[in-house]
A and B are shown apart, each in its own frame.
Chain A
Amino acid sequence: MSELVTLTIDGVEIKAEPGTSVLRAALENGIYIPHLCDHPDVSSVGICRVCIIEIEGRRPTVSCKTPVEEGMVVTTSNEELEKTRKINLELLVLNHDYNCQSCAKNSQCKLQELTRYIGLDEERIKAMREPELPHEIDDSNPYYLRDLNKCVLCGICVRTCEEIQGDGCIDFAFRGIKTKISVLGDKPIAESTCVTCGECVTRCPVGALVPRREMEPTYEVETICPFCGCGCAIAVGARGGKLVSSRAVPGSPASGGTLCVKGRFGLSFVNSPERLTKPLIRKDGELVEASWEEAISYVAQKLGQYKGDQFAAIASAKCTTEDNYVMQKFTRAVMETNNIDHCARL
């Protein structure tokens, strides 16, 4: 660890790692500076300009792009700053489709947080508003909705796709008032190279990117994704005995807090009405439901006749380690054969 830098923000002395931005240093020390386009997982770009501050001896500047320096004296709030901030915010929300009550992001929205802190002059905005919402909702992806009428052009999704997922499927397009986030050729997202990892969806600070099939869970349990050998840790949400959500566990050593489409959106097979719920035994050529007692005693009686190398077990790489241990122990110790394998070779 390198030596910490000491600076003063609004008269409070704080210490920070060199290289940290004033914004992140302030937030880490419990000092709020309003901000929208900054996200700890991606690089800072300073485009929303609501995080402006004043540093003694310099012109006002954005705090997310200013690294801390020894002895720096920072002011986060004065009349001038508040005024600029308000104008910057108004520009961002000019055509914002405010309907917080029915918005998926309600109460977790960064824009609400900003509005609360900075305040808006509703009448003034109304007067400037376009009469129609400029964008149609893009519902082409089965797992998330894009409602650009709520987009604040923070670019967090663009940087997420570029820096975290790595493909860079989306970008800013057009200029001025027409600027929007778009894919190549301005097509619906489903026709793009987007792999539906959902990383941008989890980081969008407002209700512009929202999951479609999720519900708020009653509780969450941390477990491991059942799909591939990466072993990403997931926090699975349940409600009424069904799985209703899944998110990455931050800091999971394998995934580093990311997921792919399967771990994030692909767990609903557990809720499928086609799940097997009772043992079945073939009688007169048909599989018919049976009780566990009946099934176990039938299987035990039959397997008793096949001990030795006429028996074989095929275990599963989808089952737990414990399931596999019991299966091979059963094959070897009870069925008296080493005829056991699974699909790993594939």
Chain B
Amino acid sequence: MAGLATALGSGAMTNTIAEIETSACIMAIGTSTTEAHPIIGYRVKRAVRNGAKLIVANPQEVPLTQFADLHLPLKPGSDVALLMGMARVIIEESLHDQQYIEQRTENFEAFKQSLEAYTPEFVSDMTGLDWNLVVEAARMYAENGPASILYCMGITQHSHGTDNVLAISNLALITGNLGRVSGGVNPLRGQNNVQGACDMGSLPNVFTGYQQVANDEARSKFEMAWGATLSGKPGLTHTEIFDAAYKGDVKAIYLIGENPVLTEANAAHAIEAMDRVEFFIVQDIFLNETAQKADVVLPAASFAEKNGTFVNTERRVQRVRKVVEPVGEAKPDWWITSAIANEMGADGFAYNSAADIFAEITSVTPSYAGISYQRLEEEGSVQWPCPAPDHPGTPILHAEKFATPSGKGKLMPIEYRPSEECCDFDFPLILTTERNLFQFHSTMTRYSEGLDELSGGEYIMINPQDAEKMGISEGDMVEVSSRRGKLQVKARITRRCQPGVASLSFHFAECPTNLLTSAALDPVAKTPETKVCAIKIEKA
């Protein structure tokens, strides 16, 4: 979430989930909320029942579209053009919040200038949308406050995902929607504890609470706390790790609870990288496809077999409690990692419980300093930042000032960069990947009886026009190929996809979608571009 951090000083949902229900306008961009975040989907639909306006910007006719006042079926990867186009309309028609811009933001003039490139012709060309639709969306968003923007994978999963996020925060800033109840910019995070993993510094450039490893002060604080000498050089990102392993620079990998054979963009490359690694440890609850490649497999306890906390997409720290004993000899992940550290003679890993660890977290993490297991027991949950025990937590970010050095929200000029992967004669269709309500990014749902049955298996969705051109009918087996790989899957013909776009989900080992997708990286956030990939489809 590098984009949001640049402009606003934080990369989390600015407002709470419950507030969505009282927004006057909701713009859902790049998210199929009802499928990826169902209960947020319920709230959006209830907001609409209460009279809120709903704008759905999505290449696909996602289920939420049927509740929308406006559907913007933009071309995949053209979000920045749409968002900057909307900003242009808002300023041209003086729908912006002048007072807010003056008091709470900076860089307005430079930003305004960068909008000149986004002419109606240019925006229509890039997005494939009628300019009138863009104008209508801009008015709807700006005239109905408080307005909330929801976005997720669809928007960050591009080689220019960071720009997308900046363009979103620009829109919210010029309309005064940040720091306001039921407004905000709200990235909906995918997995249950993405927020917690980021907060804890499971990232190459930061310690807990986003304290930079390159910052000498932060580093010496952690050196003191941990009694160790620490490197100030930011590490490799997820995709870079596999690249380095492929090249032989990374020789040992310790991987927990992931299944990159299935989920990694450009999976063939990642699989080869895993094969080349000299020592590969996988710690998981199942012997999944990735674990089968490991040198050592360590059995982990599931969420129901251990204590701890998860942090949800609205920065809410909540207690995970042990329900049953772990199966067999499975152990909590923290226990296993600590046991290895202890065996290697390290100090500072003599934890007896998750509570011990949480106490240490709060001692080194200012934004968690006021949270404790006891408080979570009494209050149910606390939203960070919570700097002191008597601090109530923070439901709405940026209420008084932004977490940037100047305290102001920075408006960011953005130059348009088209997607790296383009269609051509050989690969005429754009493939996007997406998730299905009943499946979830990984192995867990596959082992839950019944969910497979409901999901109807893996399929590729194709627009009827394209299907007719290619002579494909509902239920046909087709071969899908990209510049990187190919696979076979069943076809489903649906208007949910616009002509020229096809969509696959990535859940089943039997059909590894990500063999096909591109690993072009966003230069700042280093998110692989799994959302845009050129393909062709032929009858198998």
A contact set with B: CB distance below 8 Å: 141-143, 163-167, 190, 195-197, 213, 221-233, 236, 238, 241-243, 253-256, 258-262, 265-270, 272, 274-282, 287, 292, 295-300, 302-306, 309-334, 336-346
Q: Mark B379-401, 1 if CB is under 8 A from A, else 0.
A: 01100000000000000000000
Q: Complex formed: what's the CA distance from A295 to B530 in Å?
A: 36
Q: Complex formed: what's the CA distance from A161 to B249 in Å?
A: 54
- The one of B189, B192, B226 in contact with A224, judged by C-beta atoms closer than 8 angstroms, is B192
Known pairs A270-B304, A316-B256; list 8 more (Cβ under 8 Å): A166-B42, A230-B17, A302-B252, A313-B255, A320-B354, A321-B310, A327-B337, A332-B222
Q: Given A231-B318, A287-B294: A316 and B252 within 8 A (CB)?
A: no
| Contact present for B297 and A287 (CB under 8 Å) | yes
B217: CB under 8 A from chain A?
Answer: no
- The one of B48, B201, B256 in contact with A323, judged by C-beta atoms closer than 8 angstroms, is B256
- 25 A-B contacts, Cβ less than 8 Å apart? A190-B454, A223-B320, A229-B190, A230-B37, A254-B316, A256-B18, A258-B39, A269-B445, A292-B339, A310-B252, A311-B250, A314-B255, A314-B258, A317-B193, A318-B191, A321-B193, A321-B196, A323-B256, A325-B357, A326-B338, A330-B340, A331-B254, A342-B203, A343-B194, A344-B190
Nearest Cβ distance between residue B527 and chain A, in whole angstroms?
4
| Contact present for B230 and A332 (CB under 8 Å) | yes
Measured between beta carbons, the chain A residues less than 8 angstroms from B279 are: 302-303, 306
Q: Which 8 A-B pairs have the closest CB atoms?
A: A277-B328, A231-B312, A166-B45, A320-B308, A316-B257, A338-B235, A260-B38, A300-B343
| Contact present for B194 and A196 (CB under 8 Å) | no
Among B70-78, B205-213, B495-503, the one that faces the other chain is B205-213
- The one of A224, A280, A298 in contact with B319, judged by C-beta atoms closer than 8 angstroms, is A224
| Contact present for A303 and B252 (CB under 8 Å) | yes
Q: Complex formed: what's the CA distance from A324 to B319 in Å?
A: 15
Q: Complex formed: what's the CA distance from A122 to B332 in Å?
A: 58
| Contact present for B448 and A333 (CB under 8 Å) | no
B478: CB under 8 A from chain A?
Answer: no
Nearest Cβ distance between residue B273 and chain A, in whole angstroms?
11
Pick from A197, A287, A299 the residue with the most CB of B within 10 Å. Answer: A299
Q: Complex formed: what's the CA distance from A190 to B454 in Å?
A: 8
| Contact present for A338 and B205 (CB under 8 Å) | yes
| Contact present for B437 and A260 (CB under 8 Å) | yes
Closest to B302 in A: A270
Pick from B198, B252, B336 the residue with the most CB of A within 10 Å. Answer: B252
Nearest Cβ distance between residue B528 and chain A, in whole angstroms?
7
Q: Given A253-B16, A260-B38, A343-B263: A320 and B193 within 8 A (CB)?
A: yes
- The one of B194, B299, B446 in contact with A278, judged by C-beta atoms closer than 8 angstroms, is B299
Nearest Cβ distance between residue A313 and chain B, in whole angstroms?
5
Q: Complex formed: what's the CA distance from A292 to B316 in Å?
A: 35
Closest to B345 in A: A300
Q: Complex formed: what's the CA distance from A321 to B450 in Å?
A: 29
| Contact present for B38 and A306 (CB under 8 Å) | no
B286: CB under 8 A from chain A?
Answer: yes
Measured between beta carbons, the chain B residues less than 8 angstroms from A232 are: 39
| Contact present for A197 and B329 (CB under 8 Å) | no
Measured between beta carbons, the chain A residues less than 8 angstroms from B306 are: 320
B287: CB under 8 A from chain A?
Answer: yes
Measured between beta carbons, the chain A residues less than 8 angstroms from B295 are: 281-282, 302
Closest to A268 in B: B448
B484: CB under 8 A from chain A?
Answer: no
- Interface SS of B by simple majority: mixed
| Contact present for B253 and A142 (CB under 8 Å) | no
| Contact present for B39 and A253 (CB under 8 Å) | no
Measured between beta carbons, the chain B residues less than 8 angstroms from A255 are: 39
Measured between beta carbons, the chain A residues less than 8 angstroms from B133 are: none
Q: Given A278-B328, A296-B340, A333-B346: A340 and B204 within 8 A (CB)?
A: yes
| Contact present for B344 and A319 (CB under 8 Å) | no
Nearest Cβ distance between residue B136 and chain A, in whole angstroms?
24
Nearest Cβ distance between residue A188 and chain B, in whole angstroms?
13
- The one of B307, B348, B447 in contact with A333, judged by C-beta atoms closer than 8 angstroms, is B348
| Contact present for A317 and B194 (CB under 8 Å) | yes
Closest to B338 in A: A326
Closest to B238 in A: A341
| Contact present for A277 and B437 (CB under 8 Å) | no
Q: Given A326-B349, A338-B204, A339-B241: A303 and B299 within 8 A (CB)?
A: no
Measured between beta carbons, the chain B residues less than 8 angstroms from A274 are: 286-287, 447
| Contact present for B525 and A345 (CB under 8 Å) | yes
- Interface SS of A by simple majority: mixed
| Contact present for B321 and A223 (CB under 8 Å) | yes
Measured between beta carbons, the chain A residues less than 8 angstroms from B286 are: 272, 274-276
Q: Complex formed: what's the CA distance from A313 to B230 in Å?
A: 16
Q: Given A229-B189, A325-B357, A338-B213: A314 and B241 within 8 A (CB)?
A: yes
| Contact present for A318 and B442 (CB under 8 Å) | yes
B408: CB under 8 A from chain A?
Answer: no
Q: Mark B417-443, 1 if CB is under 8 A from A, else 0.
A: 000000000000000000001101111
Measured between beta carbons, the chain B residues less than 8 angstroms from A268 are: 447-450
| Contact present for A320 and B333 (CB under 8 Å) | yes
Closest to A197 in B: B38
Q: Given A231-B316, A300-B344: A342 and B258 within 8 A (CB)?
A: yes
- The one of A230, A325, A339 in contact with B38, judged by C-beta atoms closer than 8 angstroms, is A230
Measured between beta carbons, the chain B residues less than 8 angstroms from A190 are: 454
| Contact present for B233 and A319 (CB under 8 Å) | no
Closest to A290 in B: B296
| Contact present for A337 and B327 (CB under 8 Å) | no
- The one of B245, B312, B334 in contact with A326, judged by C-beta atoms closer than 8 angstroms, is B334
Nearest Cβ distance between residue A166 and chain B, in whole angstroms?
3
| Contact present for A231 and B192 (CB under 8 Å) | yes
- The one of A195, A323, A340, A343 in contact with B235, judged by C-beta atoms closer than 8 angstroms, is A340
Q: Complex formed: what's the CA distance from A238 to B341 in Å?
A: 33
Measured between beta carbons, the chain A residues less than 8 angstroms from B528 are: 345-346
| Contact present for A314 and B254 (CB under 8 Å) | yes
- The one of A222, A279, A313, A314 in contact with B298, judged by C-beta atoms closer than 8 angstroms, is A279
| Contact present for A320 and B334 (CB under 8 Å) | yes
B123: CB under 8 A from chain A?
Answer: no
- The one of B194, B292, B319 in contact with A223, judged by C-beta atoms closer than 8 angstroms, is B319
- The one of A281, A310, A314, A326 in contact with B351, judged by C-beta atoms closer than 8 angstroms, is A326
| Contact present for B235 and A276 (CB under 8 Å) | no
Nearest Cβ distance between residue B109 and chain A, in whole angstroms?
33
Measured between beta carbons, the chain A residues less than 8 angstroms from B238 are: 314, 341-343, 345
Nearest Cβ distance between residue A327 and chain B, in whole angstroms?
5
For residues 183 through 232 of chain B, which have their beta carbon under 8 Å from a beta carbon of chain A? 188-205, 207-208, 213, 222, 226-231
Q: Complex formed: what's the CA distance from A330 to B231 in Å?
A: 13
Measured between beta carbons, the chain A residues less than 8 angstroms from B157 are: 346
| Contact present for A241 and B324 (CB under 8 Å) | yes
Nearest Cβ distance between residue A284 and chain B, in whole angstroms?
12
Measured between beta carbons, the chain B residues less than 8 angstroms from A167 are: 45
Nearest Cβ distance between residue A232 and chain B, in whole angstroms?
6
B313: CB under 8 A from chain A?
Answer: yes
| Contact present for B256 and A314 (CB under 8 Å) | yes
| Contact present for A282 and B294 (CB under 8 Å) | yes
Closest to B522 in A: A345
B237: CB under 8 A from chain A?
Answer: yes
Measured between beta carbons, the chain B residues less than 8 angstroms from A166 are: 41-42, 44-46, 48-49, 67
Nearest Cβ distance between residue A162 and chain B, in whole angstroms?
8
Q: Given A266-B445, A316-B256: A241 and B325 within 8 A (CB)?
A: yes
